[in-house]
């Protein structure tokens, strides 16, 4: 086992699911989004926690992610939130996945393959109410649904939209909800009843309880992180991940010594420099060069020089008893938070967590 590892607290994930449930009515189900290998924390390892909390559906982004779950004993419905390509159809049908769709020609091909295999495939229809990414325009939905209903081997199980700014704009999200409600009303007026209706991501769940419908899609909250600091007073979450490594090398250098590629850092005095064996191939952003910090023996020390593919250096001059093998904490949600790293890197906590590469082993614990 590599000394560098991502520690994932399953108890924290269990706590977060229960916190989300407290916000919901009994008629609304949770469909956790476990795409991108559970935002980098793991996916198949979550199954026992999901079962314990009576989670009966999950969502992913790609058909390949759904196949991976099926091959690892996920028997529950799996919804693919992104419009798949035609080449994904055999896997979708063979592994009983439920794709989100907005292209009729795709659904026609899905119907043909489903008929060939003598099965009915469930789909979820995506409506673009303001995300500007994928989905039908609201005025296209009724005709689309009526056409799909003529296909014998397709069942419309759900209809959904995706909020653009539920963590930052009430007015824009209210507009999206209004458009989606109008679509649902139009369908009902045409005697079309679709089982699942869903719109809310993490911020939507917390900020727009009027849009819970009967299914919600928490993502980052499952893993204990907030899409925006404003949500911290509205729901209690426990961060689930801690990234650690160990000091692999220490050297004392003279004043004026350059550290790492391209000589972006030069020591201003004699210094003790430690090498940490994790780099940008592991998901440590190169933008942390000369800006990031880590925790060693209870002290915060700076990253010096450019982050390398497999390692980076820190100045440990102020830790006289540091030695090879000492633990290095890259983020622990207390001393160095995921959000701190995201701010330095000019990005969001989602990106930092989900980009911890598969070179870094995941270790599952019950408390951190």
Spell out where 199-305 has E strands. Answer: 215-216, 241-246, 249-253, 258-259, 265-266, 271-276, 293-296, 299-304
* CA–CA separation, 35 and 56 (whole Å): 16
Structure token pair of residue 330: 């890259």
Alpha helices in 27-62 (DSSP H): 35-39, 47-52
**Other C-beta atoms within 10 Å of 351: how many?**
16
DSSP designation for 6: E
What 3-state DSSP class applies to 134?
coil
What is the dihedral angle through the alpha carbons of 260, 266, 270, 276, rounded to the nearest 10 degrees?
A: -30
Torsional sign, CA 35, 36, 37, 38: negative
- Determine the distance from the C-alpha atom of residue 77 to the mean position of all C-alpha atoms in its chain, rounded to a whole number: 19
Name the nearest CA neighbour of 166 among 210, 201, 119. Answer: 201
Question: What backbone torsions phi and psi does residue 121 show, to the nearest 5 degrees?
Answer: -105, 130
Spell out where 62-149 has E strands. Answer: 78-80, 98-101, 121-127
* CA–CA separation, 233 and 228 (whole Å): 11
How buried is 190 (Cβ within 10 angstroms: 0-12 exposed, 13-18 middle, 19+ buried)?
exposed
113 belongs to the catalytic site? no
The catalytically annotated residue of 112, 209, 258, 261 is 261
For residues 264 and 351, the answer to whether their CB atoms sit within 8 Å is no
What 3-state DSSP class applies to 111?
helix
For residues 4 and 360, the answer to whether their CB atoms sit within 8 Å is yes
185 belongs to the catalytic site? no
The DSSP element (H or E) to which 154 belongs, if any, is strand 154-161
Structure token pair of residue 284: 């440590």
The catalytically annotated residue of 35, 179, 197, 238 is 35
Catalytic positions, written as ranges? 35, 261
């Amino acid at each position: 086992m590599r000394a560098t590892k991502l520690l994932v607290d399953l108890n924290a994930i269990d706590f977060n699911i229960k916190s989300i449930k407290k916000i919901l009515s009994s008629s609304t189900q949770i469909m956790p989004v476990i795409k991108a290998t559970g935002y980098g924390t793991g996916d198949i390892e979550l199954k026992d926690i999901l079962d314990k909390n009576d989670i009966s559906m999950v969502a992913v982004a790609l058909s390949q992610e759904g196949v991976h779950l099926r091959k690892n004993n996920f028997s529950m419905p799996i919804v693919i939130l992104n419009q798949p390509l035609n080449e994904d159809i055999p896997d979708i049908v063979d592994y009983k996945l439920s794709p989100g769709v907005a292209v009729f020609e795709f659904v026609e091909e899905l119907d043909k393959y489903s008929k060939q295999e003598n099965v009915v495939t469930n789909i979820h229809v995506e409506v673009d109410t303001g995300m500007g990414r994928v989905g039908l325009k609201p005025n296209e939905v009724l005709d689309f649904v009526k056409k799909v209903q003529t296909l014998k081997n397709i069942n419309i199980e759900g209809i959904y939209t995706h909020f653009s700014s539920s963590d930052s704009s009430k007015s824009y999200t209210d507009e999206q909800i209004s458009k989606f409600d109008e679509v649902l009303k139009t369908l009902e007026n045409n005697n079309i009843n679709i089982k699942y209706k869903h719109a809310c991501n993490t911020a939507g769940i917390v900020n727009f309880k009027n849009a819970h419908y009967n299914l919600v899609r928490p993502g980052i909250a499952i893993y204990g992180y907030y899409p925006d600091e404003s949500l911290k007073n509205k729901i209690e979450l426990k961060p689930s991940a801690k990234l650690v490594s160990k000091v692999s090398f220490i050297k004392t250098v003279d004043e004026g010594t350059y550290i790492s590629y391209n000589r972006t850092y030069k020591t201003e005095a004699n210094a003790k420099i430690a090498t940490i064996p994790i780099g940008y191939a592991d998901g440590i952003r190169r933008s942390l060069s000369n800006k990031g910090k880590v925790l060693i023996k209870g002290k915060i020390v700076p990253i010096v020089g450019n982050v390398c593919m497999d390692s980076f250096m820190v100045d440990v001059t102020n830790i006289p008893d540091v030695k090879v093998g000492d633990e290095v904490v890259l983020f622990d949600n207390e001393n160095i938070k995921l959000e701190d790293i995201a701010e330095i890197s000019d990005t969001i906590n989602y990106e930092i967590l989900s980009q911890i590469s598969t070179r870094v082993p995941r270790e599952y614990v019950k408390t951190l």
